[in-house]
Homo-oligomer: A and B are copies of this chain.
Amino acid sequence: MKITNSSIKQLLNHYKEISVLTKIKAVLEWDLNVNLPPKAAEGRAGQVEYLANQLTALWKKKEFVDLLKKANTNLDKLNEDEKAIVRNLNYANKYYSRIPEEIIAEKEKVTAKAFMVWQKARSENKFRDFLPSLKEIVRLNQIIAKHLEYKENPYDALLDLFEPELTAKHTAELFGIIKPALIDLIKRIQKSKDYQSESPLVDGKFIYPQPEQKHLSQFLMSKMGFDTAAGRMDISAHPFTTSLDQFDVRITTRYLEKDFRDSYSSTVHETGHALYEQEASPEYAQTPLEGGVSFGIHEAMSRFWENMVGKNPEFIRFMSPVFQSFFPEQLSGLTENEFVRLFNLVKPSFIRIEADEVTYSLHIILRFELENALMSGELKPEDAGETWREKSKELFGIVPETDSQGVLQDVHWSYGAMGYFPSYALGNLYGAQLLARMKDSVDFDKDLSKGKLGRIHSWLKENIHVHGSKYLPEELLIKATGKPLDPKYFIEYLEKKYSKIYSL
């Protein structure tokens, strides 16, 4: 990275403080999720709030904002790295500079309460109890969208916060292509003579002890190339990955005693995120080019490893004797093909986070359509529960009986996040396109059949990881694959994989 412009040097200096403070906050949040004793919740919330306020002040600091303005007027004099720095600072700064403080404060107040209300409403299955919170959150997001400015659709302004430059129109086009294809594929899979929706190995009769699951997770992380001297693995209720420093990238997983596939998938998924963070070019550390570029590209990495590698039939065949060595009594006598299906069961279901690779994107499409309609005002919050059920019927052919299985299942709205969900499905599309290109130079299935992950890892490192957030998502994808995002790769990938597994 070559920085010659003096304004940019000053911006980098200021950003360094933002970066340090952001990582300090990440330490507290990691600890909150992994270690916090119950009575410490309030105290820790106060500590995190203090740091959040400090961070807001740094982003809004006049000297910094002025410098950034100045840099924006001199873009033609900047080199590529410098331009990327200004662009990323503009993105990050947008939220703080355009939205009035009282709106941010009101949203914080509303969501602090909404999370509690949501927890209770979900446990009691009462959407009407959460409805007042949802109304407030939609209203505030509409105001925020107005302040952030958008060309066509208020939802655009929110999508852009999570996936730079993504619009509702483009998302609708992409999803419009994959939706019928997925619905059709699922139907064909369900009609297959080989179809099975459950496995006797995870029906509760067998126990997969935590220590063995942990060793399996460590085996996978090591095989994937996670640098254990620059990170760690712990346990939390909801697996996540976080960077406390360029050399301190931590993942969490969880161990379900009755189903070892859960920790298998979580560990591979989170390690996929972690490799992206660990392998960004060191010169980007503590600059606006540090870390992954977007939620969509991050999910592309994690879901690539989880599904395209971790559940690849050849890799599962390679792993079969490994699984059996960890769980000899539970898994004895299982054939390789049975293992392949065990990890690739396809089944329409209510809960997104338990969904398989094929049905998953439909869960996202449901949320996208709902959020888009809520933001435009077409859909009233009071009708969200009913609309959820209708869409579930359309997409999956099944209707949730309770709100907890439907409109109340996700935490995201309760903390005010709308526009986040599409990143998940986008990750699937990015990943499939990367895979297609990777296969030009990597003998993917053959490597996986031998358990060799080195060339796959290197390809992702060179084409994605090292770039940190220097390129915007679409730019990065074009650089890596030569083409803009095309959903056909994802459909082709699923068709080919599942046709083989289920003899379609």
Contacts and interface: CB of A to CB of B under 8 A. Distances in A.
A199 interface: no
A474 to B, nearest CB: 31
Interface stretch (A115-123, A243-251, A299-307, A337-345): A243-251
A30 to B, nearest CB: 8
A162 B44 CA distance: 28
Contacts of A244: 40, 43-44
Contact of A232 (B37, B43, B247): B37
Given A46-B20, A47-B20, A248 B27 contact: no
Interface residues of A, number: 32
Interface in A225-264: 227-232, 244-248
A148 to B, nearest CB: 31
Contacts of A219: none
Contacts of A232: 35, 37
B229 A47 contact: no
A227 B44 CA distance: 17
A197 B36 CA distance: 43
A147 interface: no
A23 B38 contact: no
A324 to B, nearest CB: 26
Given A24-B28, A230-B37, A245 B51 contact: no
Nearest to A26: B47
A39 interface: yes
A31 interface: yes
A50 interface: yes
B24 A229 contact: no
A37 B246 contact: no
Contacts of A51: 24
A21 interface: yes
A118 to B, nearest CB: 24
A19 B37 CA distance: 19
A86 to B, nearest CB: 25
Contacts of A248: 36-37, 39-40, 43-44
Contacts of A40: 230, 244-245, 247-248
A55 to B, nearest CB: 13
Contacts of A50: 17, 20-21, 24
Contacts of A47: 20, 23-24, 27, 245
Nearest to A35: B232
A23 B230 CA distance: 25
A132 to B, nearest CB: 31
Nearest to A232: B37
A247 B37 contact: yes
A17 B49 CA distance: 12
B27 A229 contact: no
A38 B229 contact: yes
A46 B43 CA distance: 24
A129 B116 CA distance: 59
Interface in A13-65: 17, 20-21, 23-24, 27-28, 31, 35-40, 42-44, 46-47, 50-51
Contacts of A43: 23, 244-248
A56 to B, nearest CB: 16
Contact of A27 (B31, B42, B231, B245): B31
Interface string A434-454: 000000000000000000000
Contacts of A31: 27, 31
B28 A229 contact: no
**Looking at A17, A28, A39, which has the most chain B CB atoms within 10 Å of its CB?**
A39
Given A35-B232, A44-B244, 20 more contacts: A17-B50, A20-B47, A21-B50, A24-B24, A24-B28, A24-B50, A24-B51, A27-B27, A27-B28, A31-B31, A36-B248, A37-B230, A37-B231, A38-B229, A38-B230, A39-B227, A39-B229, A39-B230, A39-B247, A40-B247
Interface of A: 17, 20-21, 23-24, 27-28, 31, 35-40, 42-44, 46-47, 50-51, 227-232, 244-248
6 contacts: A37-B229, A38-B229, A38-B230, A40-B245, A40-B248, A43-B248
